[in-house]
């Protein structure tokens, strides 16, 4: 999902949540990290074949605060997955499509525009034009299979290698839900997709387990009612906004429902695969905490106006 559409709210809060996940995942335990997702964690896969004219994130000032130049990340610095890799003492994960890169300690398969579900799913529902799908979750998992010779030479060697690796699956789903919403459909249409999207993520996790994954982090979605894109697209009655956050309540409820269904799906996977550790990543709660108490994360309320509250009618 493009940064311009989703907006940069609560990254310090999300990072704080990730650091908590790393404690749960026993930092220092893994020899490699493999990441799957969309623009929130794309380290440059979209730009490996050249920079699309429309892609502002591949040009300055993106990348200026850490790398000093654009890397294809939808950020001016590092991404959450970069902090995860560094926390384990590993190098930043190279984009899986990078030429002449070393994948001995992992790879980043995420790509901007990715969805949990394949393009065909949306095309059958007349939503193909609303999906900018550069590589669904299943496509990214196939990229992993194609890359196997880079880090293992046999089925057993690959399973042993993956058993000592951490797999981060997402965040995914935002672009899936954008498909009906950007096509002008009602939020109820997005609700209809939740079971399919959650099943798609669950199926992807199962495929990774079949490849040998033993430890996985599966993040939920952030509160979409706080995204500038939806705050600018929809005008609800005053009572439809959070009195303290300025976020659209009905969209935050939608995100909460997705996360609740995802957590239930992960519980089923844990029961089915008792030898596998599956950690749910809560990106929702920290973002709300950030918006309520930004000073705790190094920000001040006034700095949020352009990201959230200024777009809400309750502040006009």
How would you classify the pairing of strands 32-36 and 215-219? unpaired
d(CA 214, CA 279): 11
The reply to whether omega before 104 is within 30° of 0 (cis) is no
pTM score above 0.85: yes
pLDDT at 267: 99
d(CA 88, CA 26): 9
pLDDT at 316: 34
Query: What secondary structure letter does DSSP report for 28?
Result: T
Return the CATH number of 3-315, one of 2.50.20, 3.10.20, 1.20.1410, 3.40.50. Answer: 3.40.50
pLDDT at 1: 42
Per-domain residue ranges of the chain: 3-315
pLDDT at 11: 58
pLDDT in single tens digits along all 316 residues of the chain: 433 345 455 556 666 666 666 655 565 589 999 999 999 999 999 988 777 767 788 888 888 989 999 899 988 889 989 988 988 889 999 999 999 899 999 999 999 999 999 999 999 999 988 887 679 999 999 999 999 999 899 999 999 999 999 999 999 999 999 999 999 999 999 999 999 999 999 999 999 999 999 999 999 999 999 999 999 999 999 999 999 999 999 999 999 999 999 999 999 999 999 999 999 999 999 889 888 988 887 765 544 444 443 344 443 3
pLDDT at 304: 43
Q: Give the CA angle between residues 314, 315, 316 to the nearest 5°.
A: 95
Give the residue among 290, 168, 261 at the shortest CA–CA distance from 218: 168
Edge-to-edge order in the sheet of strand 277-281: 106-108, 32-36, 165-169, 215-219, 277-281
95 SS3 class: strand
pLDDT at 309: 39
Alpha carbon dihedral 38, 83, 65, 9, in 10-degree steps, equals 60
d(CA 227, CA 91): 31
d(CA 251, CA 66): 33
């Amino acid at each position: 999902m493009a940064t311009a559409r989703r907006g940069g709210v609560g990254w310090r809060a999300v990072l704080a949540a990730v650091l908590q996940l790393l404690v749960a995942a026993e930092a220092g335990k893994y020899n490699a990290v493999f990441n799957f997702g969309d623009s929130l964690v794309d380290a440059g896969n979209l730009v490996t074949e050249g920079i699309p004219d429309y892609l502002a994130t591949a040009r300055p000032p993106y990348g200026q605060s850490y790398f000093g130049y654009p890397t294809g990340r939808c950020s001016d610095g590092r991404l959450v997955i970069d902090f995860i890799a560094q926390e384990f003492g590993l190098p930043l994960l190279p984009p899986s499509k990078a030429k002449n890169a070393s994948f001995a300690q992992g790879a980043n398969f995420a790509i901007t525009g990715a969805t949990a579900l394949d393009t065909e799913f949306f095309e059958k529902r007349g939503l193909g034009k609303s999906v900018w799908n550069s590589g669904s979750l299943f496509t990214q998992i196939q990229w992993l299979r194609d890359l196997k010779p880079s880090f293992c030479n046999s089925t057993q060697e690959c399973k042993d290698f993956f058993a000592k690796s951490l797999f981060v699956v997402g965040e995914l789903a935002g672009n899936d839900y954008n498909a009906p919403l950007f096509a002008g459909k009602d939020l109820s249409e997005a609700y209809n997709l939740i079971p399919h999207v959650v099943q798609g993520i669950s199926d992807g996790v199962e495929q990774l387990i079949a490849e040998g994954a033993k430890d996985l982090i599966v993040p939920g979605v952030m509160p979409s009612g706080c995204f500038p894109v939806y705050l600018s697209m929809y005008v609800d009655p005053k009572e439809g906004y959070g009195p303290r956050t300025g976020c659209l309540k009905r969209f935050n409820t939608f995100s909460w429902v997705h996360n609740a269904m995802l957590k239930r799906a992960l519980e089923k996977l844990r029961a089915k695969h008792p030898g596998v550790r599956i950690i749910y990543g809560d990106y929702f709660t920290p973002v709300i905490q950030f918006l309520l108490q930004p000073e705790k994360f190094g920000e001040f309320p006034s700095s949020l106006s352009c990201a959230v509250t200024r777009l809400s009618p309750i502040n006009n």
